[in-house]
Amino acid sequence: MLSRRLLLGGLLSLFPARVLARAAGAPNPLPIVHDGAPRAIVVVGDDPGPWEKAAAADLVKYVKMMAGATLTIADAAPRGTAAIFLGKAAIARDPAIGRRLAATAGKDPLVQADAILVQRRGSNLFVAGANDESHYFAVSWLLQHWGCRWYFPTDFGEVVPERKTLSVGALDHAYAPPFEIRHYWLAWNADSTGADLFRHRNFMSSATMVGAAQTLANYTSDIAPAGGNHFNVPFTDRRTAEHVAAKIEADYAAGKDVSLAISDGVYESVADRPLITRYDGYMLKPSVTDAMLTFYNAVADILRRKYSASKAKIGGLAYANVTLPPDRVKRLAPNVVMWIAPIDIDPNHALDDPRSPPKGEFRDMVEAWSRIAPGRLALYDYDQGMLVWRDVPNPSHHVFARDVKEYRRLGLVGFGTESRGATATTFLNLFFRGQLMWNPDADVDALLREFYLAFFGPAAVPMARYWGRIFAAWGETAVTEHEHMALPAIYTPELVDALRVDLEAAEAIAGSGRIAERVAFVRGSFDILTNTVTMNVRAARELDYAGAAAAGEAAMAARKTLRAMNPTFTLDPNDSLEQGSAWLAGEIGQMKELRARVDGTKGKLIAPLPLIWSFRVEQPLADDWRYKGPLGGDAVKDFGPGEGAWREVRSDLYLQAQNILAEGGQAALGRYRYRTEIDLPAGTAPQGAHLLFPGLFNEAWLFVNGALVGHRPYIEPWWHGDYGFEWDVDVAGQLRPGRNLVELIGFNPHHFGGMFRRPFLYRASAAP
């Protein structure tokens, strides 16, 4: 068959050279199946664990799918019969296997030491691991050695080569991954069908570490200060530590781990100010890390002295304005473990990518935390990294493949990844995460080449072009933001047109059956993408809100079609969680409301404002600047003339996506000014005229013909808004026939800045 020979050749990239060399030199292959007939049995010991039992079932299942033979499972091997000794049976057969696994896994794991051994000796094949889950990993490794792959959850994502003969040559593979925690969980409204098997088939375990569950408020809400809440509890106050220690001591004494992870929000207490030495430019608040670690250490020390025999751990979370490493606290109690969660850090670039100062800063944060909590730090990250998104591809493997090596160097315990698992968005991300967490040196390019051949068969070449274009767009992007407003900077109409050609070429040769189903998935994914891009272009550039709403509805229909094919392909578009302008349904509703402002229903279009404006940054942020809320309408009196050079910018794309950045490549621009002119023909009545900015970030001040006509209060960071991002200003008293000067001053202290949908003048209809 077309892909079989090439696929088996591509497998060489997956396995260490020492394994392949031994296999290649095997003088007498051990037959497992020969010409469709079984030649070996599977030996499973008494009382197998759940994953050991699943491993035996998978081994039998996939050998039958590959070679058409059903292997017998037995509790012993008859004399003279070739046997695969699995899990505990392998260790019972030869205790040296257990000792070698223990040596491979290493001593004193914090969470769980995984290791596998796959070894052929004479007519026996030993397949075992250091624990129940590792037994399963050993079988998965063997099946992958024979060519099986699980790229996505459910049988849609599996590739099983047809091989009438299965055998094993010289094989002696012992391996332990560098990370104890290798896991993703499904958040939001994700569908979990097939997820657990998919995880384990790609070497991801259920092992985790206390501290990811955000439960601190359970122990502090009752001591919140008057007029405040649990975010205002003084963490440097010894009484806070004593209060919490008393609440958790029964569990701690019993050896139960306890999470004191902070909540979503910003922590502030007057009592903690003496320990504040840093300002967090991501949260726009003072960093209270020293105060929080003072609290963690105090609780941990109280309990460790009182219950010295307990092996329990206290879990903390570096998150929100507790993400920056501490300045004054130099140690973390040995019974405290930490997660670090980069909720607002660029997900699109690697730690060592010079295009992303934020990611470089995060690398420094992780390194500092790893010194404070050596061997006790894990990463809580996000995949999809674009948090509020549109079910279009958000590949991350090119970033993670680089980062995972750095995390190995820094000694991280591992990863707990929050995902929504929608294949239309994550595509191969979770497959690559599993492979790379297991082996950070896995060859991603070789795995991709193998994937196209194995998964798309005769359509491999156009599908490689299709996905290669998407991966290149993400690999080349300068975007450091992480929401759907960045989508037009990555997915351009030109890219979509090229993808359409590749997809049509694949459809023409996909044939029928499983390959056609896989190409049909790509078609459904493309239909979401092309209609989403069309919606953005119609709304942001062309002011065709009817067309934008229609395209949005077509994207929604494509989501529903794709979900009907397999519930793991997209998030549920009917879920109650997807409400408001942040989500596709809400954005469609917003397009319809904008249409009503221009089509005579609620207003009538007077004129669009230009697509191209003059622009300059007038006053960058000072190094010691601190955010204290909106500047206010009167602040404009103190702005001064500004000094930046003028340039042209678009009004349909936010500023940072146009490579307008602060010194050093940071996103926060400070004060900026847009300027344009608009000619109104004589007889154009200004009565009822409004200037509507349908997509605008930041606090802003609008001037028409030199007069201030409006101030827009705006709370930063931008996610505090309603995700509609509109600003409607009554300008009737300032417009005149002929040329009108329009100026927009904005203040950008954080991430997204400026306009991202083209503004327009309209005449509001009289209220009924």
Q: How far apart are the first and last CA of the chain?
A: 71
Q: Name, in order, each residue with C-beta under 8 angstroms of 638's C-beta and a sequence gap of 6 or more.
A: none
Name the residue with tokens 């060399």: 21
- The whole-angstrom separation of Cα 509 and Cα 504 is 9
Instruction: Say whether pLDDT at 587 is over 60.
Output: yes
Q: How far are the Cα atoms of 522, 590, 654, 745 from residue 696, in angstroms, in the given order?
A: 33, 14, 8, 12
Query: Is the confidence at residue 685, as pLDDT, over 70?
Result: no
Write down the H helix ranges in 349-443: 357-372, 397-409, 423-426, 429-438
User: CA 730, CA 746: separation in Å to the nearest integer?
Assistant: 18
Are 730 and 664 in contact by the 8 Å Cβ rule? The answer is: no
21 and 153 part of one domain: yes
High-pLDDT (> 70) share of the chain, %:
96
Give the contacts of 278 (CB within 8 A, at least 6 positions apart). Answer: 286, 287, 289, 324, 327
| Alpha-helix runs per DSSP H in 190-317 | 195-201, 217-220, 238-253, 289-306
The answer for residues whose C-beta is within 8 angstroms of residue 68's C-beta and 6 or more apart is: 33, 36, 164
Residue at which a domain ends, from 309, 339, 369: 339
Same structural domain, 651 and 736: yes
Examine the domain organization and report whether 320 and 213 are in the same domain: yes
Q: Residue 18: pLDDT above 50?
A: no
Q: Using CA atoms, how far apart are residues 446 and 64, in angstroms rounded to an integer?
A: 27
Q: Are 260 and 315 in contact (CB under 8 A)?
A: yes
Q: Does residue 246 sit in the same domain as residue 116?
A: no
Q: Is residue 511 part of a domain?
A: no
- pLDDT tens for 29-39 read 999 999 999 99
Residue 149, helix vs strand vs coil: strand
- What integer pLDDT is reported at residue 733 of this predicted model? 86
Sheet holding 760-764, edge to edge: 603-608, 760-764, 689-693, 727-730
Q: Which residues contact 209 (CB under 8 A, 6 or more apart)?
A: 110, 111, 181, 313, 315, 337, 339, 378, 413, 414, 416
| 199-208, 293-302, 381-390, 549-558: the lowest-pLDDT one | 381-390
159, 261: one domain: no
Share of the chain above pLDDT 90, in %: 91
Q: Does pTM top 0.85 for this prediction?
A: yes
Whether 531 maps to a domain, the answer reads no
Task: Count other Cβ atoms within 10 Å, centred on residue 305.
Answer: 8
Whether residue 241 is predicted with pLDDT greater than 90 in this model: the reply is yes
In a shared domain, residues 145 and 224: no
Three-state DSSP state, 768:
coil
Strand 37-38 to 73-74 pairing: unpaired
Separation of alpha carbons 56 and 44, rounded Å? 7
Mean pLDDT of 12-21: 41
**Residue 644 in domain:** yes
Is residue 483, in this structure, part of any structural domain at all?
no
What is the predicted pLDDT for the residue at 258? Answer: 98
Classify 327 as helix, strand or coil. Answer: coil
277 and 129, same domain (yes or no): no
Q: Is pLDDT above 90 for 148?
A: yes
How confident is the model over 510-521, as a mean pLDDT?
97
Tokens of 359: 């990611």
**pLDDT surpasses 60 at 494:** yes
Write out the H or E segment, with its range, that includes residue 515: helix 514-540
The answer to whether residue 421 is domain-embedded is no
Range of the domain at 53: 2-176
**DSSP letters along 469-485, please?**
HHHHHHHH------BGG
* Residue 682: pLDDT band with limits 50, 70, 90: confident
pLDDT of 768 reads: 61
What's the CATH number where 715 sits? Answer: 2.60.120.260
Nearest by Cα to 426 from 148, 187, 152, 150: 152
Residue 126, domain member (yes or no): yes
Here the CATH number for the domain that contains residue 18 is: 3.30.379.10
Structure tokens given for 139? 């079988």
Q: Does residue 546 or residue 46 have the better pLDDT? A: 546
Q: Do 619 and 670 contact (CB within 8 A), yes or no? A: yes
55 and 147 inside one domain: yes
Structure token digits, residue 696: 């605008």
Domain count, the chain: 3
Partners of 128 in the beta sheet?
117
Say if 382 falls within a structural domain: no
The answer to whether residue 568 sits within a structural domain is no
- Residues 757, 610, single domain; the answer is yes
Regarding whether 214 and 166 lie in a shared domain, the answer is no
Same domain, 112 and 21: yes
Segment holding 518, helix H or strand E:
helix 514-540
Residues 13 and 150 reside in one and the same domain: yes
Rounded distance between C-alpha atoms, residue 294 and residue 297, angstroms: 5
Element holding 381 (H helix, E strand) = strand 377-382
Phi, psi of 748 (to 5 degrees): -115, 105
